[in-house]
Structure 1
Amino acid sequence: MHRSNERFVERLPLVLDRPVYAYGLTLIFCAAALLLRWAAEPLLPFGYPFVTFFPAVILTSFLFGVRPGIFAAIVCGFLSWYFFIPPYGRLTLNPAVAVAMLFYTGVVAVDIVLIHFMQRANYNLAVERERSRLLAENRELLFRELQHRVSNNLQVVAALLSLQRRHIDHDVARRALDDASERLALVGRISRTLYDPERTGQDMATFLTALTADVLDASGRADIRLSIDAPGGMVLDPNVTVPLALVVAEAVSNAIEHGLSDRAGSIDVTLAAEGDALVLRVADDGHGVAADFETTQTDSLGLRIANALAAQLGGRFSLSPGLVAGAVARLDLPLATAC
């Protein structure tokens, strides 16, 4: 309703391209004011010759612009002078009539000028609003194009690393290139998903389901069950979602590679708001870790990356034994930062 009123006001004055309609409607307003004044004659005390004509002038100026407003002021002035200022039925000019008509002229002139400046200001505001909308659209388009190009470039770099791997015989170096290529490709896919122009927001449950399935497919394992538990409709800022997604990918990859390297099992990913924190858990039923395991003391590049990403978000990453078996990777983030 509010937006509809704004659009109506932005179109004022009306029928600018059809002045005949504007002046015709102006005459109708003046006639209506005359009829209303006649109808109110028995109810009004002596005088008040302009009481119904002021609204006609104001409405005409507001709806149709300055020139129809001036025309309405002239017509209404003569009607009130002829019919409601004594001696009635004559356009007699005397000092009292002159004062009344000067008063009427001053009031309608002020009304018309104020309405004119208001409409000019409103027109300029509408122009600036449209310009701002176009600038915002262009900025959004350029931003999406930038994200698209960044995602493509990451995919290209990942492909180049995979090609370079074929010319290296050292197993450790090949493994390092494989890890780097997979991480770059993952970042590219995450960016492409988060900044898809067709999406209005990324639901975390859907996003995590697709992400973990992607990681599992890349591992080539078909004997691992994945489950995702995240609040429906939860949407996080992309600046948080990308690092969080990388932590999830590292935790799931670590569970597959170390906890479930030689056996079937399950991995449960849980994302929930707990108090003033957003908590991510990636639990597996694999071999587990020692009770005194510290992620800051490990040589695993993936866990060091997860620690660095958690610190970047102002959170904390940990890896601890599960209640029954396996291990639980946990990421705690301040809720105010994440949402």
Structure 2
Amino acid sequence: MVKRNERPFLERLPLAVDRPLTGYGVAILLSGIAWWARWALDPAFPQGFPYLTFFPAVVVSAFLFGRRAGLFAAILCGVLAWYFFIPPFHSFAINRGTSITLAFYVAVVAVDILLIDWMQRGNEQLRRERARSEKLVAHSQLLFSELQHRVSNNLQMVGAVLSLQRRGVTDPAARQALSDAAGKLQTIGRIQRQLYDTSGAPLAPDRLLPDLTRDLIETAGRPGIDWKVHVAPGLELPSGSAIPLALILAESIANAIEHGFAERAEGCITVTMHEMDAALTLSVADDGAGPPDGFDAATATSLGLRIARTLAEQLEGSFTLERGVRGGAVATLRIPLSDA
């Protein structure tokens, strides 16, 4: 919480709330200055302006130190003006003219003090609401982070359970299916906590892709594989596309490591993203072995490729995997951008 002396000046008003004597002392000082100014300027004023210099003293006292100091200044200034500047002078005599003059003064300073007090009460209420909102935001961010952490852990836990179940399965196809499923769940768990910031908004690609690529390659346990990420600045992911895109990136990197570098300890994976022709294009290229002759990603039965194609269709886009111009493989995801 922001300390009182660290707030903007207007939010610290009224001042010295725990030291009322300070406010009263300043009110006396301002009233004295107002009296002196009225006395010094008396020759220049036409008769009938007894309160002209006293109104600012009342307003400033109430503004700086609250309604009590303002009320004290109003009483003191009223008495000074009544005694020195309202005929008959140097007396507290009351006649019809004096009553009207005093009533006018009381009405004006009452309105001034009430308006200032209302403003300061409203300002204090706004400050309290803002402090309450800041606490709620901090609490929400904590809950969001905890939720992300728990979801990630739960997904990885399910993947670990599937891995344990695989040990009791003797059928090779079933063992492979369980192994693939376990790997996919653990991958989803790792990337889940990276997809959103604490506000719940998807991270920008230039922040998401480098962190995600590094995590996926480091998790694979292949220190000899280098990686590069090139993302055009200012790109924004379409709504709802962060998780599918991250999963397709994970599948593409896993495919490059598993097949492209199956017989090599070193290599490089390059991830690029750019916008062209009203579409967002993500490509994952490697300098590995590349797909075999006659390979067609559209008909491949690999679980990872089927997942990538399905996710691309959900985004109303397309996914391809083909041999690169200089060898290796290039996986490409193309997502059309909405005109809205």
* TM-score exceeds 0.5: yes
- Displacement of 1:231: 5.0
Change (3 A) 1:35 1:314: farther
State whether residues 180 and 303 of structure 2, in contact with CA within 8 Å, keep that contact through their aligned partners in structure 1. Answer: no
Task: Show the 5 A alignment for 1:252-331.
Answer: 252-262=253-263, 265-274=267-276, 277-285=279-287, 286-288=289-291, 293=296, 295=298, 297-313=299-315, 315-331=317-333
| Equivalent-residue separation in structure 1 for 2:292 and 2:140 (angstroms) | 48
Segments of 5+ residues of structure 1 without an aligned counterpart are: none
| Structure 2 segments unaligned to the other structure (5+ residues) | none
Q: What secondary structure, in the 3-state scheme, does the structure 2 residue paired with 1:17 have? A: coil
Deviation at 1:173, TM superposition (A): 1.9
State TM-score, norm by structure 1.
0.81
Alpha-carbon offset, residue 202 of structure 1: 5.8
- Give the Cα–Cα distance (whole angstroms) in 1 for the partners of residues 336 and 36 of structure 2: 70
Shift in Å, 1:318: 3.3
Per-residue CA shift, 1:79-136, capped at 9, x if unaligned? 1222223343333322222211111111111111222222222222222222222222
Alignment of 1:61 with 2:62, yes or no, is yes
Identity over aligned pairs, percent: 48
**1:95-174 matches, cutoff 5 A:** 95-174=96-175
Between 319-328 and 130-139, report the one with greater CA deviation: 319-328
Matched to 1:325, the amino acid is G
Secondary structure, aligned partner of 2:193: helix
How many pairs are equivalent?
332
Note closer, same or farther for the CA distance 1:215–1:190 as it changes in structure 2 (3 Å cut).
closer
CA distance in 2, matches of 1:178, 1:307: 20
User: Is the contact made by 2:280 and 2:335 (CA closer than 8 Å) also made in structure 1?
Assistant: yes
The one-letter code matched in structure 1 to 2:270 is D
1:183 is matched with 184
Work out whether residues 284 and 330 of structure 2, in 8 Å CA contact, stay in contact via their aligned partners in 1.
Answer: yes
Q: Once the two structures are superposed, what CA deviation does each residue of 1:115-165 show, in whole Å capped at 9, x if it has no partner?
A: 222222222222222222222222222221121111111121121122222
Contact map agreement 1:315 1:333 (CA 8 A) in 2: yes
Paired residue type of 1:59: V
Q: Which residue of 1 aligns with 2:80?
A: 79
Contact 2:238 2:337 in 1 (8 A): no
Give me the CA root mean square deviation: 3.6
Q: Deviations over 1:187-235 (max 9, x none)?
A: 22222345687xx996755653453344445555566443222357978
> How far did residue 12 of structure 1 move?
2.7
- Preserved contact between residue 197 and residue 203 of structure 2 (Cα < 8 Å): no
**Contact 2:13–2:63 at 8 Å: present in 1 too?**
yes
Give the Cα separation in 1 of the matches to 2:26 and 2:238.
54
Residues 203 and 232, structure 1, Cα contact 8 Å, conserved in 2: no
**Is the contact between residue 290 and residue 323 of structure 2 (CA under 8 Å) also seen in structure 1?**
no
**DSSP 3-state at the match of 1:270:** strand
Return closer, same or farther for 1:4/1:180 CA change in 2, 3 Å cut-off. Answer: farther
* Greater share of helix: 1
Could you list the runs of 4 or more consecutive aligned residues of structure 1 that deviate by over 6 angstroms after TM superposition? 3-6, 232-238, 289-292
